[in-house]
Chain A
Amino acid sequence: MESLIQKKLLEFICRNYMVEEYEINLDKSLVDEGIIDSFGLVEISSFLKKEFAITILENEMNRANFGSVLKIVSFIERKKTV
């Protein structure tokens, strides 16, 4: 089931990067898929910090945490429990 974090993240991606939800493969990197570039990575990180009141360190913006929508959601969930 889609979590609230995932819903908000997908809404942000669709509105900012002019894609439809069905175009986003949840398992694949948004950068690899061409949906975002290096600027987009920074922009998503800023959105997540503000929306979920978390801190994201520069070295956390890596493939393990930002390598797909599902990985980002999991990263946020972990951050929120800290």
Chain B
Amino acid sequence: MNTTVSRCTRCVLSKEFPKIAFDENGVCNFCRNEMFYTLGTDVIDSSKKTIAELLDAHRGTSSYDAVMCFSGGKDSTYTLMLSVKKYGLKVLAFTLDNGFISPVSFQNITRVVDSLGVDHVTLRPSLNNLKAIIRASALHPIYNPKTLTRISSICNSCISIVNMTALKFALEKRIPFIVAGFTLGQIPANSIVFKNNYQFLEESREQSLSKLRDEAGSCVDDYFCIDPKLLSESSRFPYNLNLLCLEDITESEILNRIQEFGWIAPKDVDGCSSNCRLNTFNNYVHEKQFGYSPYELELSHLIRKGQLTRDEALQKINSKPIGQLQSIMNELRITEAELPNVVLGS
């Protein structure tokens, strides 16, 4: 094993990434296909078939066909366009305003939903509550470190609120599908279409929710929890669809396509986000704690798929708006000394 390499010479996985090993050329065991992280094209084909069958069975059976988790970033924008234009779904688009969404991103959101003619709702929780949740996620070991291989702790909290809110919308309005803009690399290929056992997952989250509640207060229940009676409705639906995973498309092709709807890349976000200013801080905390970026796994997957070059991926990881980190830390009232120490190899 080569111990002098700091990052894989083919993808962007760091030497601190869990279970990584480099050969004499500095190529990691993920690139050498020794870690079977995603499956082949047969899964994509079977997912397409399953989705077509499900859409045929459920389209038009409710006031909306799908709740779309729409952040206003490039991937969810493209996925919203796919949902409406390619799959003909009547969509309720939903955005979580975490208090750190770029102003340009909000303009994008308005332009895109207006162009596509979809209904749109925004949830903006109390900023005091959100800041308490963000602070707790940054400063305390809320989640198991193994959960955080491909996502920062703060992103995990925001996405949990998004998922729970989308589930509530789906169950309350009897909407058969929840659509998200995940890409392969962010999720495994088997998860392009699936139905969760929400009861099981809800029970499994209790430990982390309890820690979050201890630090951020009872407001956690408002955003992360669901009425058990409503949850009991989830045995038949909703199905989760990740439609972007079915597309063989590069990032520049996505950007070209969504520009037709007036989408503009915000300048006040880092290279790994196209909507959220907070991401710079989230990644900083993760890198400080674990020694690698939470985006490395996803970006490396895109490199192996030929959808991104290594240089482009490195640029994404290294691109951070000047002064933004300190500005966000000031907004959150977090000092450098409070941040968790490095825990390499965890």
Contact = CB atoms under 8 A, between A and B. Distances in A.
Given A15-B36, A16-B37, A18-B35, A59 B235 contact: yes
Contact of A42 (B143, B144, B145, B190): B190
Given A34-B146, A34-B147, A16 B200 contact: no
A62 B200 contact: yes
A38 interface: yes
A39 B203 CA distance: 16
A23 B145 CA distance: 12
Contacts of A32: 204, 207
A58 B191 CA distance: 13
Contacts of A42: 188, 190-191, 194
Interface string B139-157: 0000111110100000000
Contacts of B232: none
Contacts of A66: 200
Interface in B182-217: 187-188, 190-191, 194-197, 199-201, 203-204, 207-208
A80 B258 CA distance: 49
A16 B146 CA distance: 12
B86 interface: no
A39 B207 contact: no
Contacts of B196: 38, 41
Contacts of A59: 197, 235
Interface residues of A, number: 30
Interface string A35-59: 1011111110110000000000011
Given A34-B145, A42-B190, A46-B190, A62 B195 contact: no
B187 A39 contact: yes
B229 interface: no
B19 interface: yes
B16 to A, nearest CB: 12
A50 to B, nearest CB: 9
A19 B203 contact: no
B146 A63 contact: no
Contacts of B235: 59
B321 interface: no
A43 B19 contact: no
A26 to B, nearest CB: 16
B201 A38 contact: yes
Contacts of B208: 34
A17 to B, nearest CB: 7
A67 B200 CA distance: 9
Nearest to A39: B191
Which one of A31, A38, A58 has the highest number of Cβ atoms from chain B below 10 Å of its Cβ? Answer: A38
Given A39-B191, A42-B194, A19 B146 contact: yes
Interface string B8-44: 0000000001110000000000000011110100010
A77 interface: no
A62 B200 CA distance: 6
30 contacts: A14-B19, A15-B34, A15-B35, A15-B36, A17-B149, A18-B149, A19-B18, A19-B19, A20-B19, A23-B146, A29-B204, A34-B143, A34-B146, A34-B147, A35-B144, A38-B191, A38-B194, A38-B196, A39-B194, A42-B188, A43-B191, A46-B39, A58-B195, A58-B197, A59-B235, A61-B197, A61-B200, A62-B200, A66-B200, A67-B200
Given A15-B35, A39-B190, 17 more contacts: A14-B19, A17-B149, A18-B17, A31-B204, A32-B207, A34-B208, A37-B147, A38-B191, A39-B188, A39-B191, A39-B194, A41-B201, A43-B188, A43-B190, A61-B200, A62-B200, A63-B200
Interface of A: 14-20, 23, 29, 31-35, 37-43, 45-46, 58-59, 61-63, 66-67
The 10 closest A-B pairs by CB, nearest first: A34-B144, A18-B18, A46-B190, A31-B204, A34-B147, A39-B191, A42-B194, A18-B19, A43-B188, A34-B146
